[in-house]
Amino acid sequence: MASDATWSLAGGLAARFAVHAITILFAGGKTPIGLPTSAAARDLGQFATKVLGGRTVDALSSNIDFVLIGRLLGSSALGFYSMAWDLLRFIPDAFFELRAA
């Protein structure tokens, strides 16, 4: 059974997406009336499938090195690799935060 903290995280994420969707809807200027046509739904489905495929390939390519190192070399080597990656990204991330501020 999930704790209250887990449900609050899921609820917060759902609320964030809902507010974002409503903001985009009203900022667009035109409020849709009625259900989408079958051609529009098909077009949206094709677009969503391509986006999902692209995001899946991106997520896999960004994390496959961690999976391979953990599987082939073990958890201690994965820990060292993860720490090295974090140290490698620390300076550029800190510099970017300073420039953004």
SS (HEC) of the chain: CCCHHHHHHHHHHHHHHHHHHHHHHHHCCCCCCCCCCHHHHHHHHHHHHHHHHHHHHHHHHHHHHHHHHHHHHCHHHHHHHHHHHHHHHHHHHHHHHHHHC
pTM of the model: 0.51
**pLDDT below 70 — which residues of the chain?**
1-3, 100-101
Quote the pLDDT of residue 72. 95
* The predicted structure's pLDDT at residue 45: 93
